[in-house]
Amino acid sequence: MSYPANVTFEGDYIKLNRKIGKIYCRRHRDFEGTIKTVTISKNSDGKYYASVLVDDGLDKPEASTEGKAIGIDLGLTDFAVTSDGSKFDNPRHLAKHQQNLKRKQQKLSRKQKGSNTRKKARRLVAKVHSKISRCREDFLHKLSRKIVNENQVIAVENLNVKGMVKNHKLAKAISDCGWGMFCTMLKYKAEREGKTYVEVDRFFPSSKTCHVCLNQVESLPLDIRNWTCEHCHTNHDRDINASINIRNEALRILSLGTSDTANGGSVRRLGGKISCLLDATPNEIGSPNYIACN
Ligand SMILES: [Zn+2]
């Protein structure tokens, strides 16, 4: 439910309108500026949340590309691997809470339909789900904050998460790790600070290209974590090599600036936002780029 402007905060209370009156709330931060709308939502675990849209009156800073650039390869083994060689482990929240969830789901399934104990059990299941998503969001916020603080240009692959989730085997792991949410966070955090967020087309062969000599290997099964380029003999960590390629590709796109075409692809610049489309190359089986075609 949405409430327009006349919402006020008084100490620890939120006042939605005259009819509802004051409600106790826990605030995460103070707001500066004028409140636009307040949206109240109820989680399945029975908790109410109010998200407050505030206009701080500040213009978005002009995006700049002067400074450190980073490429990020998103994966399942490690959640994120960066072009400067850092690996961030996937916290696997679901796996950790899986046992607990399973137990509570079993309990729920044994309750009689329509009973009060069933209602209670359902709420317990919802509570675990809610805990998992809050843990996940916390991890994503902290990591995106760190990356945006330390870099000026942030490059990721434009992942077709929806397409990948159709691949049933990977679906659970992918929807658990929150790549889409992570990219959204990187994007708005970067834009708010005049930094540049770039998505490289998902068909760009970031894993299979040697970042040193640009030689491309034919295939690179997912279980191969290290490989040696047969052309320049560089030994590559699969994911670090991919993230360096993502960074380099983003810098190439940025250096094209406002020009219309490059390598048969196109680059558009829309008010600081950059979107690009490059030539499609075949799917790489097993990589996060891979989209099952059935
Ligand atoms: Zn090479």
Quick: pLDDT tens for 38-85. Answer: 888 887 777 888 888 888 888 888 878 888 999 999 887 788 999 999
Q: How far is the CA of 287 from the centre of ligand 1 (A)?
A: 20
> Which DSSP letter does residue 122 get?
H
* Residues assigned a catalytic role: 73, 157, 239
Q: Do 172 and 249 share a domain, yes or no?
A: yes
> Is residue 34 in a domain?
yes
Task: Assess whether 170 and 219 both reside in one domain.
Answer: yes
Cα 284 to averaged position of ligand 1 atoms, centre (Å):
19
Q: Let me know: does 56 contact 220? Beta carbons within 8 Å.
A: no
The reported pLDDT for the residue numbered 160 is 66
Same domain, 19 and 142: no
Cβ neighbour number for residue 154 with a 10 Å cutoff? 27
Quote the tokens at residue 242. Answer: 């991919």
pLDDT of amino acid 84: 95
Percent of the chain scoring above 70 in pLDDT: 80
> Do the beta carbons of residue 261 and residue 276 sit within 8 Å?
no
Q: Is residue 287 part of a domain?
A: no
Same domain, 220 and 273: yes
Q: Same domain, yes or no, for 45 and 141?
A: no
Q: Which domain holds residue 25?
A: 2-55
Q: Using a CB cutoff of 8 Å and minimum separation of 24, what contacts does 190-194 make?
A: 190/148, 190/154, 191/60, 191/63, 191/272, 191/273, 192/60, 192/61, 193/61, 193/148, 194/60, 194/61, 194/62, 194/63, 194/64
User: What is the CA(67)–ligand 1 centre distance, in A?
Assistant: 27
Cβ atoms of residues 287 and 222 within 8 Å: yes
Q: Is the pLDDT of residue 285 over 50?
A: no
Does any domain span residue 209? yes
51 and 73 in a single domain? The answer is no
Distance from Cα 208 to the centre of ligand 1, integer Å: 10
For residue 149, pLDDT over 50 is answered with: yes
Q: What digits encode the pLDDT tens for the residues 156-165? A: 988 765 566 6
Instruction: Give the count of domains, the chain.
Output: 2
* pLDDT (tens digit per residue) in 237-268: 999 999 999 999 999 999 987 443 333 333 44
Same domain, 50 and 74: no
- As a whole number of angstroms, the distance between CA 284 and CA 294 comes to 15
Cα 65 to ligand 1 centroid, rounded to whole Å: 28
pLDDT tens readout for residues 202-232: 778 899 999 999 999 988 888 899 999 999 9
